[in-house]
């Protein structure tokens, strides 16, 4: 190995070290700038007028916000597909048991399991769907 090849390798190592140091300093500066801007104080709210309770206003606003948020959070859950493997060849829930005794009508479990195995959601289930209808959203 010649002398000129060793100098090139050392130069490359120095460049990488300087690049890493520069990136580290830049990241630290960005983190400090972000922390400094987040630490600013929020404006002070005015005191309520006489006869009004700040606690009652806060509780009413909080309850209204929570009621609205619950509806938006529950609505997708009611229409979410319960069995992600439904209508596929590998669905482990797609099994039913049936029997028929003499001349009586056949009895099967497919009537109870078909809403789930056909890709239904919570709102499509016979009893739970009616109960889910009572939920907001």
Whole-model pTM above 0.75? no
Q: For residue 59, give the 3-state DSSP assignment.
A: helix
**C-alpha to C-alpha distance for 99 and 109, rounded to whole angstroms:** 9
For residue 116, the tally of other CB atoms under 10 A from its CB is: 19
Chain length of the chain = 137
Residues 56-84 have a mean pLDDT of: 76
Distance between CA 2 and CA 7 in Å, rounded? Answer: 9
Q: For residue range 112-126, what is the model confidence (pLDDT) as tens digits?
A: 778 778 888 887 777
Domain range summary for the chain, segments of one domain joined by +: 55-89+97-137
């Amino acid at each position: 190995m010649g002398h000129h090849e060793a100098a090139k390798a050392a130069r490359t190592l120095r460049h990488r070290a300087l690049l890493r140091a520069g990136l580290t300093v830049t990241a630290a500066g960005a983190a400090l700038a972000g922390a400094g801007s987040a630490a600013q104080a929020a404006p002070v709210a005015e005191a309520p007028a006489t006869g009004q309770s700040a606690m009652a206003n806060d509780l009413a606003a909080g309850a209204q916000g929570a009621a609205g948020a619950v509806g938006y959070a529950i609505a997708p859950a009611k229409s979410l597909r319960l069995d992600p493997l439904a209508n596929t060849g590998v669905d482990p829930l797609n099994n039913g048991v049936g029997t028929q005794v003499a001349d009586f009508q056949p009895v099967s479990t497919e009537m109870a399991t078909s809403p789930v195995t056909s890709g239904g959601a919570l709102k499509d289930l016979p009893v739970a769907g009616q109960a889910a209808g009572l939920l907001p959203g």
